[in-house]
Amino acid sequence: MNVLMMAPSKVPHSIRPLRWLLGRGCSVTFVDRENPCPDGHERFRFVSYPGPSGRSTLRRVSGLAANVAARWRVQRPLRRLWSEVDPDVVHVHWVDERAYDCASAGLRPLVLTVWGSDINARFLPDDDPYNGRVVGEALAGADLVIVDSGDMPEKCARLAGREVPTTLLPLGVDTSLFRPLSREVAASHRDALGISEDALVFLSARALRPAYGHHHIIDAFARARPSLPRDSVLVVKTYDRQRVGDSYEQDLRRQIERLRLDEAVRWMEPVPAGRLPEVYALADIVVNYPSLDGFPVTFLEAAACERRVITCRLDAYRGTFAQTLFRMVELDAVAELADAFVDVAHERAEVRDALVREARAVVVREYDECVTADKLLALYRTLT
């Protein structure tokens, strides 16, 4: 199969589908600003995007008329590339101006994969209406939209102004990589962070942005700590710090100081994707508390590593295994979140073990990336 793929390069959500396609004998022409495969591949070709591209460019630059003209100058070379490649499918990951360009240029069949934030951000009160128009027209022009949560089809339809063809297909996870690791692996990482082997470790695992609610998690941890069964530590990952700046991190550090948690919080620098299972290994409980979300890969990773998860209750999670196998609390309910910290920390071992093993079994059966990759190719074939 011949695929014309557009995605933010060097992002795991892009690299993994690219790897699946190449591993299954597909030819891929990848279009973006940077080459995600600089060492090359016999069935891989990189082409620079013919103009502004990427997640940061969805903005009004000089008025609607100027934007339309600018996008047309991008769309013409895209259509020439499409004619040259003659792909079986055009697949754009993350819906922004690149997806709009492909839809407007008539590149077909067009598949869009939404990641969550690209859609959810369009419903925020301070979002530029231009963004909603661009994303809406891209969705309206797609032959298929791949979503990862049950609330996304309705949101896509609202932006497009009509029903759009959607299918539910979460990204999945490599369950041979994400698996329970030995106590020795956990102990070595705890030691590196100055955490004792018998401490109770909570992990706030999402990107370091306000929307992911780390400040609420810190507040709940402070409230819960006196009632926890043993010495406890909260680990906060600094993933995505370089993209969003350090102002939020500084706010969190001031919050930690105010709550006198300096000795109980550890900051974890980003690690390569292949070492993420080691991060889960050092944790006992993973905490997830965003205000908006798709269906996060964090859920799949944590479950595959047999880690207990506490999360807020969002529409995006409804109807999934998270609803029955994770501890859920309401959004904007820090006291309830603190109670969940205490309750889960005091769970009997046999209860906890049964839940995490069932969660891993579900992920292996339904969300392993081999299953996802096969489903993706099957979807392509329905469009050719």
pLDDT tens for each residue of 209-256 = 999 999 999 999 999 999 999 899 999 998 776 566 679 999 999 999
* Separation CA 171–CA 161 (nearest Å): 26
Same domain? 13 vs 122: yes
8 A C-beta contact, residue 329 and residue 336: yes
Is 177 within the bounds of a domain? no
Same domain? 233 vs 271: yes
User: What's the pLDDT tens digit per position in 58-73?
Assistant: 454 444 555 666 777 8
Same domain? 143 vs 252: no
Same domain? 192 vs 153: no
Same domain? 203 vs 350: yes
The DSSP annotation for 276-305 comes to: HHHHHHH-SEEEE--SS-S--HHHHHHHHT
Q: What is the pTM of this model?
A: 0.91
Q: Is the pLDDT of residue 57 over 60?
A: no
Same domain? 237 vs 357: yes
* Separation CA 363–CA 366 (nearest Å): 5
Predicted pLDDT of residue 21 = 97
Same domain? 201 vs 345: yes
Same domain? 220 vs 164: no
Domain CATH number, residue 166: 3.40.50.2000
Q: For residue 150, list its beta bridge partners.
A: none
List the domain range (segments joined by +) for residue 92.
2-172+369-383
Same domain? 195 vs 286: yes
